[in-house]
């Protein structure tokens, strides 16, 4: 039988900037505190979900999230970005203003610092 670890995900939108924030917690109590703080700060569409990913699926799940990050970086987050709209990153790589290796190096550095 596989081990399943429960984690709690809380997300909400800042009602002024429409910025989406999300956090993962190891306890339901900590997640409830976060929800209370979101409510105090006028966040809207606040939700809390229990995440349960069996260990044997976690590897593929995490790598799928990395793919989602790339899609967001290149496409979804560019939709309304006036400073860096869709296509600008690809153009910068093509013109050799930044390389894929430099982006990977930065991603590696930041994720190691955050973990």
Summarised one tens digit per residue, pLDDT across range 61-102 is: 788 889 988 988 888 878 888 888 989 999 999 999 999 999
The whole-model pTM stands at: 0.54
Number of domains in the chain: 1
Q: What does the pLDDT read at residue 5?
A: 65
**Residue 20 lies inside a defined structural domain of this protein:** yes
**Residue 35 lies inside a defined structural domain of this protein:** yes
CB 61 within 8 A of CB 50: no
Inform me whether the pLDDT recorded for 48 exceeds 50.
yes
**Residue 81 lies inside a defined structural domain of this protein:** no
State how far the alpha carbon of 95 is from the alpha carbons of 26, 29, 43, 75, 91, in Å.
Answer: 44, 50, 41, 19, 6
Domain extent for 17: 1-54
Banded model confidence at residue 40, pLDDT cuts 50, 70, 90: confident
**What DSSP element (H or E) covers 55?**
helix 55-74
Rounded-to-integer distance, Cα 43 and Cα 41, Å: 6
**Residue 46 lies inside a defined structural domain of this protein:** yes
**Residue 30 lies inside a defined structural domain of this protein:** yes
Banded model confidence at residue 3, pLDDT cuts 50, 70, 90: low
**Residue 88 lies inside a defined structural domain of this protein:** no
Helix (H, G, I), strand (E, B) or coil at 19: coil
Would you put residue 18 in left (φ > 0), alpha (ψ -120 to 50) or beta?
left
Neighbour count for residue 35 (Cβ, 10 Å): 19
**Residue 27 lies inside a defined structural domain of this protein:** yes
């Amino acid at each position: 039988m596989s081990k399943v670890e429960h984690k709690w995900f809380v997300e909400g939108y800042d009602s002024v900037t429409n910025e989406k924030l999300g956090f993962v917690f190891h306890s339901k109590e900590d997640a409830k505190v976060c929800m209370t703080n979101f409510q105090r700060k006028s966040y809207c569409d606040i939700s809390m979900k229990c995440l349960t990913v069996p260990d044997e699926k976690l590897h593929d799940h995490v790598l799928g999230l990395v793919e989602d990050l790339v899609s967001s970086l290149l496409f979804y987050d560019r939709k309304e970005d006036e400073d860096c709209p869709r296509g600008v990153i690809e153009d910068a790589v093509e013109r050799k203003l930044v390389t894929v290796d430099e982006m990977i190096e930065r991603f590696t550095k930041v994720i190691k610092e955050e973990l």
